């Protein structure tokens, strides 16, 4: 259970960080989000990534938890990147197809 939770934390955290970047906002929504929204997304994303560590440490032990936390962060980031790549290419193909 904690493993799934850690992955979700990592995935959500990186997704929010990704959405906070102007370039990806354009890729995904076709427009730039307000600066305050971007700031909130960035803070929320960082918070998710950071909170995952105490969650992992308190259940799995601080040493083991740290290793799994870092491993899950990598996988969460990878899934975010792959998803972003997929969604942005689909979006960029849509206008040319129409």
Does residue 29 interact with other proteins by CB under 8 A? no
Does residue 26 interact with other proteins by CB under 8 A? no
How far is residue 88's CA from residue 82's CA, in Å, rounded to a whole number?
A: 10
- The span of 18-26, 34-42, 45-53 binding other proteins (CB under 8 A) equals 18-26
- CA–CA–CA angle 15, 16, 22 (5° rounding): 100
- The span of 10-18, 34-42, 47-55 binding other proteins (CB under 8 A) equals 10-18
Of 64, 91, 95, 98, the residue at the interface with other proteins (CB under 8 A) is 64
Helix (H) or strand (E) holding 24: helix 22-29
Task: Tell me the CA distances in angstroms from 11 to 34, 52, 69, 77, 98, one per residue in order.
Answer: 23, 11, 12, 6, 32
Residues that bind other proteins (CB under 8 A): 3, 14, 17-18, 21, 23-24, 63-64, 67-68, 70-75, 77-78, 80-82, 84-85, 89
């Amino acid at each position: 259970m904690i493993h799934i939770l850690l992955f979700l934390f990592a995935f959500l955290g990186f997704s929010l960080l990704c959405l906070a970047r102007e370039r990806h906002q354009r890729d995904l929504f076709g427009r730039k989000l307000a600066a305050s929204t971007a700031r909130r997304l960035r803070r929320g994303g960082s918070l998710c990534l950071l909170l995952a560590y105490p969650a992992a440490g308190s259940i799995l032990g601080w040493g083991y938890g740290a290793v799994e936390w870092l491993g899950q962060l990598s996988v969460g980031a990878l899934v975010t990147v792959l998803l972003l790549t997929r969604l942005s290419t689909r979006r960029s193909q849509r206008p040319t197809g129409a």
